[in-house]
Structure 1
Amino acid sequence: MARPTALPAVTVTAVSLVLTLAVIMMWLGTAMPWPVALVVGLGIDGGWLATLAYERRLAAQGDHSTTVTAVGWSFGLLATGVLVAHALTVEADTGAWLAVAWLPLAAKALWLVHGMWERTALTPNALSAITGIQQEARDEAAVARARLRAEAAAEETRLTAVTQAGARVARIQAKTADALSRAWSTLETARNGEDTGRALTSVTTPVTPGVTPRWELPVWGPTEPVPTLALEAVPALTDEALDVLVDEIRHSETPALSYREMATRFRAAGHSASEVRLRAAWKRMVA
């Protein structure tokens, strides 16, 4: 009876029993002796209470009887019928009597609700365990959310750092390329200048008389290693022999080889000559 749904059911049941007995005494008391009317009222209320007590006993045992339930609802319908019949036969206050005629059925419905409450009620230990499980689930969810937010922030920081580093590298490369471009432009300007030609002529004329010097810029790219030669084992070539070798190597393929290709093949063949003599021979053959 300590359940929250038990008190309303008990209250409505008590009111319904008193109201049913009072109506039977007032309604049937005029047509029969009052002791007989009292017996009829007590019989209806007693049958109702007996079936209700039996239902509560079965419910306490975890059992159920359809027959007892049907008998209990029958007594409730009978009490409701008596109240409705009395309300329809009185000349005054018919609406008020009809308004309270539903109390027996309301009492049965409240006991039904109370029975459902008992079947689904849990002990305090079970409720405490459920509360702990729910709290643990909420804690785990909060920790997971915090971990995801932290990982997302760390990933964002890492991507930002990588992006900034990439931007710095790109800026450095751009500056380096610009510096190389300016340096290359300076070299090209110096090569094409008149002063450069006169300076080269003044330097190379004593070495290669009658040959117009030509200054070629270095190739910006991969180079081929030149094999080491035993210089002491290779005899020095005369200018005529050097010119013949340079011409043969230059015209060994069609179209004629460039100076670099010729020089590489010249030294790969085991011949020896200084860079100045070799270039001078090349220029003589080209001229």
Structure 2
Amino acid sequence: MKGKSVLPAVAMTAVSMVLTLAVVMMWLGRAMPWPVALVVGLGIDGGWLATLAYERRLAAQGDHNRAVTAVGWSFGLIAAGVLVAHALTVEESTGAWLAVAWLPVAAKALWLVHGLWEATALTPNALGAIRGIQQEARDGAAVARARLRAEAVTEETRLAAVTQAGARVARVQARTAQTLSRAWSTLEAAREGEDTGRALSSVTHRVTPDVTPRWELPVWGPTEPVSAFTLAPALTDAEIDVLVDEIRNSEVPALSYREMATRFRAAGHSASEVRLRAAWKRVAA
């Protein structure tokens, strides 16, 4: 994996150094002895290579030096400037030389990309852990989707069964109502018929003479339950006297008749006004 980022950078650097040395030899070799031009070209490439090696050493140690980086980019720009100047001074193939003048800068950019890759690279164990976490998340999502689909199918089946059962109940109720309606119509027709009256009269004449029987149909419809209630047993005069005396003398001074009557009825006792007033007179006397 490391070679995918470092090999292009190494290849681009080598091509740039060879191209820079060749251009310096061709460009300056005409104005000065070729050994001097060779030294100039090697100096540019050597400075570039030295700063690059130092940058790689610092990167391996997890360190960074802006001055070294600036010097490395300066050598790259110098090499690119030499290529551009040579392309502008030649009379032929100027465009071709300008097309390759960007190679030194491109080499520096590739080394920058490689440095970023190294800064974010993970070990195989970490990558395996990440893949395991992602696979676990995918498995959980797949299980959740399957559970939701199964619950949806189950709910759909349940609703279909309930709907079918409700439809069957509705059909049965409709048939029952239709049957009852026909039976009711038959009973009503029989009750209203003339033959029915004569038949009832012939049957009941000897039991209840001079009474015309009447046959009423039962009520067909909703009914409301009647709440049951119980009547409290009536109090005797003696019991009323005891209760009136207790309520009247429950406070000092003794209560008036109106206050006593109010408390008597609030306690749940029942007596008519006449009996209660008579008891009051007997107790007060």
Normalising by structure 2, what TM-score? Answer: 0.76
1:51 aligns with 2:38: no
2: CA distance, partners of 1:215 / 1:223: 24
2: CA distance, partners of 1:216 / 1:223: 21
1:267-282 → structure 2 map (5 Å cutoff): none
Structure 2 residue runs of 5 or longer lacking an equivalent are 227-285
1: CA distance, partners of 2:151 / 2:3: 50
Give the residue type in structure 2 aligned to 1:48.
W
Instruction: Report what 1:22 is aligned to.
Output: 22
Instruction: Report what 1:184 is aligned to.
Output: 184
1:230-269 → structure 2 map (5 Å cutoff): none
Q: Deviations for 1:191-244, whole angstroms, at most 9, x for unmatched residues?
A: 11111111111111101111222222223355999xxxxxxxxxxxxxxxxxxx
1:67 aligns with 2:67: yes
1: CA distance, partners of 2:225 / 2:191: 25
Instruction: Report what 1:77 is aligned to.
Output: 77
Give the residue type in structure 2 aligned to 1:91.
E
- 1:174 is displaced (CA, Å) by 1.0
Q: Deviations for 1:245-271, whole angstroms, at most 9, x for unmatched residues?
A: xxxxxxxxxxxxxxxxxxxxxxxxxxx
- 1:95 is displaced (CA, Å) by 1.4
1: CA distance, partners of 2:169 / 2:190: 31
Cα 1:86–1:184 shift into 2, 3 Å: same
2: CA distance, partners of 1:137 / 1:8: 36
1: CA distance, partners of 2:7 / 2:191: 112
Secondary structure, counterpart of 2:15 in structure 1: helix
Instruction: Report what 1:149 is aligned to.
Output: 149
2: CA distance, partners of 1:86 / 1:197: 136
2: CA distance, partners of 1:74 / 1:201: 134
Cα 1:224–1:198 shift into 2, 3 Å: farther
Give the residue type in structure 2 aligned to 1:41.
G
Instruction: Report what 1:34 is aligned to.
Output: 34
2: CA distance, partners of 1:193 / 1:113: 109
Give the residue type in structure 2 aligned to 1:166.
G
- 1:2 is displaced (CA, Å) by 4.1
2: CA distance, partners of 1:103 / 1:75: 13
Give the residue type in structure 2 aligned to 1:127.
L
Q: Deviations for 1:90-128, whole angstroms, at most 9, x for unmatched residues?
A: 112211111111110010011011111111111111111
Instruction: Tell me how many residue pairs correspond in the alignment.
Output: 225
Instruction: Report what 1:137 is aligned to.
Output: 137
Instruction: Report what 2:214 is aligned to.
Output: 214
Q: Deviations for 1:40-71, whole angstroms, at most 9, x for unmatched residues?
A: 11111110001000110111111111111110
Give the residue type in structure 2 aligned to 1:170.
A
CA RMSD of aligned residues (A): 1.7
Secondary structure, counterpart of 2:30 in structure 1: coil
Structure 1 residue runs of 5 or longer lacking an equivalent are 226-287
Moved more, 148-157 or 22-31: 22-31
Percent of aligned pairs with the same amino acid: 82
1: CA distance, partners of 2:142 / 2:155: 20
Cα 1:224–1:146 shift into 2, 3 Å: closer
Give the residue type in structure 1 aligned to 2:220.
W
Normalising by structure 1, what TM-score? Answer: 0.75
Secondary structure, counterpart of 1:208 in structure 2: coil
